[in-house]
Amino acid sequence: MKDSVIAAQQTPSAQRTTRDLTRAAVSGWLGTAMEFMDFQLYSLAAAIVFNRIFFPDVSPAIGLIAAMATYGVGYVARLAGAVYFGRMGDRIGRKKVLYLTILLMGASTTLIGVLPTYATIGILAPVLLVVLRLVQGFGAGAEIAGATVMLTEYAPVRRRGLISSLVSLGTNSGTLAASALWAVLLAVLSEDQLLSWGWRLPFLLSFALMIFAVWLRRSLKESPVFEQRPDVVDGVALARDEVESAIATADNHEGSVLAAGIRQRKGKAFFLALGLRFGQAGNSGLIQTFLVGYIATNLAVGRSVPTDAIVYGSLAGFATVPVIGLLGDRFGRRAVYLTLSSLTTVLAFPVMLLITSGSTPGVMIGMALGLNVGVLGLFSLESVTMAELFGSRTRFTQLALAKELGGILATAIGPVLAATLTAVTGSWWPIAAMLIVYSLITFVSAYLAPETRGRDLVRLEDAV
């Protein structure tokens, strides 16, 4: 045992070519794009057609609630997937898990496109829909975390922020692609065509994307950081008792390297990461979900204005995300985090004043500004900082849990709370107040966190 562990510690640095890095970057971008495209396809289908083809024997309102409930179960499955695949990724490697998650997501999404409807097989139709939704969410729960870990561990140390930001660009790409597909269908198909066969097309088209992603990941090399971990022997991480045995028999230096990771008490880094996640996820729920409905319902502007604002803001995000990644590489994660969260706090009321002005330009500028500073900018930093906070032995698991738990607490609950507060007060100021609270949580977390830029990612222990 001692000889095996020492040999693993003395393994030369795993070499990766520019081609390997490019393949990993495209794989990470494509996986997150596919994840968010699948979820956006489903959310739009749930809102537009699923209540009528899978729940036709109830009132329209109840049918919509039931359709959205099938959307919500995916978030529960995501948390389970984060735990299961996160532990697997830390144990047997990142590559194998990313291969499995892309298969689960792609297969379940494609199968939704061939499901019989309620008119064909009755109650079994919505049951199968829920099952596929659970499978889809189970795979997605570790996809973005796995892609983040893989890209961060592959990237050159001076360009980690830029390379890792491709994960954020993937989310943008997937959401825009799904929205565009549905926009085309709604524009060119009649309602009868949409309900009979048109709704299936986006789900079936995702099959081609899955095939390409699976092919790409089959030839992807394992993370160089995972291969260099001192507790990995023959491609598998040693169990805790095996590492403890090696520590007891190794010399002082070898034992201290392993002991630093295996015996460190966990928790501090996780809660800091959760706080960093809270600002981005909370702001996203308010700006990209709640405000779209709030503007359309309460302001005298066209119903397409808020969705157009999100589209234009997302297009601007293709510049914002890499620029923030570069700034994080240049000035450090903490400095840029503190700046962005401060800007979001200061701009919360001015942005809401622009949005609620009732003018189309005001809505467009306000939404785009809030989206790029308070959501996409923070997301770009989050991708690399959360990965750098965790030690390599538990990085995948802790990052996946922090992302999914933060998403549930902030993104899922935030819009419901905002709807309640605006209804009670009859005003928009609670939205601005929530943006400030979410951003301050991230500000405090960034202030308390250590600077992680340039950290040795092979180290087993967390940064704090």
HEC profile of 223-288: CHHHHHCCCEECCEECCHHHHHHHHHHCCHHHHHHHHHHHCCCCCHHHHHHHHHHHHHHHHHHHHH
Model pLDDT for residues 395-409, shown as the tens digit of each residue: 999 999 999 998 888
Measured CA to CA, the distance from residue 111 to residue 306 in angstroms comes to: 32
Chain region(s) in the chain for CATH 1.20.1250.20: 15-222, 268-448
Length of the chain as a residue count: 464
Distances (CA, A) of 4 to 9, 232, 240, 258: 9, 9, 15, 13
Measured CA to CA, the distance from residue 48 to residue 39 in angstroms comes to: 14
pLDDT of residue 42 exceeding 80, the answer is no
Q: Domain 268-448 falls in which CATH fold?
A: Growth Hormone; Chain: A; (1.20.1250)
Q: Which residues contact 115 (CB under 8 A, 6 or more apart)?
A: 125, 128, 129, 132
| Backbone angles phi and psi of 297, in degrees to 5 | -90, -35
Per-residue pLDDT averaged across 145-155, rounded? 92
Tokens (6 digits) for 429: 């100021």
pLDDT of residue 291 exceeding 80, the answer is yes
Q: Which residues contact 184 (CB under 8 A, 6 or more apart)?
A: none
- How does residue 8 score in pLDDT terms, banded at 50, 70 and 90? very low
Q: Give the number of other Cβ atoms within 10 Å of residue 184's Cβ.
A: 12
pLDDT of residue 199 exceeding 90, the answer is no
What is the model's pLDDT at position 5?
45
pLDDT of residue 11 exceeding 80, the answer is no
What is the model's pLDDT at position 362?
92
| Backbone angles phi and psi of 171, in degrees to 5 | -65, -40
pLDDT of residue 73 exceeding 60, the answer is yes
- How does residue 182 score in pLDDT terms, banded at 50, 70 and 90? confident
Model pLDDT for residues 408-425, shown as the tens digit of each residue: 888 777 887 888 888 889
CATH of 15-222, one of 1.10.275.10, 1.20.1250.20, 3.40.50.300, 3.40.640.10: 1.20.1250.20
- How does residue 434 score in pLDDT terms, banded at 50, 70 and 90? very high
Please report how many Cα atoms fall inside a 13 Å half-sphere around the Cα of residue 189, on the Cβ side.
17
